[in-house]
Structure 1
Amino acid sequence: MRLVLLGPPGSGKGTQATRLKEKLGIAHISTGDLLRAEVAAGSELGKQAKAVMDAGNLVSDDILLGMLRSRLSQPDVAKGFILDGYPRNVAQAEALDGVLADIGQPLDAVVQLDVDADQLIERLAGRAKEQGRADDSPDAVRQRLQVYTQQTAPVVDFYAERGTLARLDGIGELEEVEARIHAVLPKAG
């Protein structure tokens, strides 16, 4: 199973990816985790990423794609993977399609978790309080939602046009949302 989970910040992508990883026995790939691991390992891509991040800039699509290409070549990905929150823009979606075509591993499904903005702000405010995350303050959340709407929401249309997208209600108990995701995944043949 090769799956992409999309949704705005706070929609539950990371939580559901962790649950699906356990149930499906496949790798969970988060680009944020990849960046931190490459920087910590001191790899060439990690050094490039660190220099960009230290300057206060966003890591380029090329660097992220290089890290992703490397990660997708690792043995634990052979049975499948869950991409959590990537791609974040249409250029990344097109590049990802190219990489997956190169390795003969096309996506099986793309799931968009829909959660209304008020619910997202409430969820993230709770997370900010529990974890002390500055990026989950109400103002920061509104900014992140605006960026999501401008940059990432078009990715939903990209996959809808390809017939691989399922839009699901991301509100409910964890088990309910997980069941909705399982219901739209292709059955192993």
Structure 2
Amino acid sequence: MLNLVLFGPPGAGKGTQSQKLIEKYGLIHLSTGDLLRNEIAQGTILGLEAKKLMDEGLLVPDEVVIGMISNKLDANPQAKGFIFDGFPRTVAQAAALDTLLSEKNTAISGMVALVVDDQELENRLLLRGKDSGRPDDANPEVIRKRINEYNSKTAPVAEFYKGQDKFTSINGIGSIEEIFGSVSSVVDQY
């Protein structure tokens, strides 16, 4: 089973590259952001709590996210693999994901990180915010807070996967096809 972690700060292009990877490798997209937004759209208690945190640029509690991921894995027993988009975001989540996957007799194949500088990220998110309708993409202060949150809490996850020899970084600036070519060349080695 091919299980990929697509990694990078908000606005790095994870969603775009995920779609291309899904098409090429037949993977199931597991975006915690999409799972959470679905809960928000349904107006569940979890969704309302998640919306409040997300609007403030904060992360949703680990146990909630791991539970949603476990349910998604169980719902797709015949999957060729999964692409984890936007998760894990902390070392604790990475360790919990390893434990969860081990219990399901699989593991992370590798992590591919899209590297983009902070100013480019802010520009991309503000542009995306004009069309997405997401309040967290329209406010420069919230965007900076999300990027800082990533840099302080999420970036250390790269070290976790480096320690397992499962980490590769890719320049996230360029055309979609150029970036995808670089990502594919890494994935083909798994």
Per the normalisation by structure 2, the TM-score is: 0.87
Alignment match of 2:172 (pick from 159, 170, 173): 170
Structure 1: which 5+ runs fail to align? none
Give the Å deviation of 1:91. 0.7
CA RMSD for the aligned pairs? 2.2
- 2:11 aligned counterpart, secondary structure: coil
Cα distance in 2, alignment partners of residues 53 and 25 from structure 1 = 30
- 2:29 aligned counterpart, secondary structure: strand
Which residue is 1:14 aligned to? 15
- CA 77–90 in structure 1, closer or farther in 2 if over 3 Å, else same: farther
- 1:75 aligned counterpart, secondary structure: coil
Give the Å deviation of 1:134. 2.8
Cα distance in 2, alignment partners of residues 118 and 38 from structure 1 = 31
- CA 9–39 in structure 1, closer or farther in 2 if over 3 Å, else same: closer
**C-alpha contact 2:40 2:50 (8 A) present in aligned 1:** no
Per-residue CA deviation, residues 55-109 of structure 1 (Å, 9 max, x unaligned), is x345321111111111111236621010101001111000000001111111111
Which residue is 2:56 aligned to? none
Give the Å deviation of 1:52. 3.3
**C-alpha contact 2:40 2:48 (8 A) present in aligned 1:** no
- CA 156–110 in structure 1, closer or farther in 2 if over 3 Å, else same: same
Question: Which segments of structure 1 move beyond 4 Å, counting only runs of 4 or more?
Answer: 38-42
Of residues 169-178 and 135-144 in structure 1, the stretch that sits farther from structure 2 once superposed is 135-144
Cα distance in 2, alignment partners of residues 143 and 26 from structure 1 = 31
Which residue is 1:92 aligned to? 93
Which residue is 1:150 aligned to? 152
Per-residue CA deviation, residues 18-54 of structure 1 (Å, 9 max, x unaligned), is 1111111110111122234456679xxx65x246337
- CA 67–124 in structure 1, closer or farther in 2 if over 3 Å, else same: same
Cα distance in 2, alignment partners of residues 77 and 39 from structure 1 = 28
Aligned 1:31-50 pairs, distance under 5 A:
31-37=32-38, 47=45, 49-50=46-47
Matching residue's letter, 1:52: E
Cα distance in 2, alignment partners of residues 172 and 152 from structure 1 = 23
Structure 2: which 5+ runs fail to align? 54-58
**C-alpha contact 1:88 1:151 (8 A) present in aligned 2:** yes
Which residue is 1:65 aligned to? 66
Per the normalisation by structure 1, the TM-score is: 0.87
- 2:155 aligned counterpart, secondary structure: helix
Per-residue CA deviation, residues 117-142 of structure 1 (Å, 9 max, x unaligned), is 11111211211223343322322221
Of residues 28-37 and 93-102 in structure 1, the stretch that sits farther from structure 2 once superposed is 28-37
Cα distance in 2, alignment partners of residues 116 and 51 from structure 1 = 32
- CA 41–135 in structure 1, closer or farther in 2 if over 3 Å, else same: closer
Matching residue's letter, 1:53: A
Alignment match of 1:52 (pick from 49, 54, 61): 49
- 2:87 aligned counterpart, secondary structure: coil
**Residue 111 (structure 2) pairs with residue 110 (structure 1):** yes
